[in-house]
Amino acid sequence: MVVFASEDIGMAQPTALVVANEVFRACETIGYPECQINLMHGVTYLASAKKDRSAYDAYFKAVADVKKHGNLPIPLNIRNAPTKLMKELGYGRGYEKYTNESLLPDKLKSNRYYKK
């Protein structure tokens, strides 16, 4: 139930993970057969919830890119510049805290992982 709540329901109904964890905890606490009502409620809740695998799929797309490209350098404009030398080298230059621009490394800039 816990895996199903994360993988298949995901962001469509984030409370599904909370329900699944509480059902697990109830079963662990009171045991079978008394917990069968808890299981029934949890199964019914999860089965009737909307499904959305977008966060799950986004994670594995990102993992595939890490495996393909390895450890890419952090773009200079988003690096911290605590020293004068780093500022002179361009660390943090042009960085805006709230922006819609991609902050990914150049090889990945056009990628979009999570789609609502």
- Residue 103 confidence (pLDDT): 83
For the chain, first and last CA: distance in Å?
Answer: 23
- Residue 2 confidence (pLDDT): 96
Task: Say if residue 96's pLDDT is above 90.
Answer: no
Q: Which residue has the higher pLDDT, 115 or 81?
A: 81
User: What value does the mean pLDDT take over residues 24-49?
Assistant: 97
Assess contact for 69 and 43: CB atoms under 8 A.
no
Q: Which of 13-22, 38-47, 78-87, 103-112 has the lowest mean pLDDT?
A: 103-112
Chain-wide mean pLDDT for the chain?
93
pLDDT tens for each residue of 38-85? 999 999 999 999 999 999 999 999 999 999 999 999 988 889 999 999
Q: Which of 5-9, 22-26, 56-60, 104-108 has the lowest mean pLDDT?
A: 104-108
Say whether 42 sits in a helix, a strand or coil. helix
Task: Say if residue 116's pLDDT is above 90.
Answer: no
Integer CA distances (angstroms), 68 to 12, 53, 54, in order: 30, 22, 21
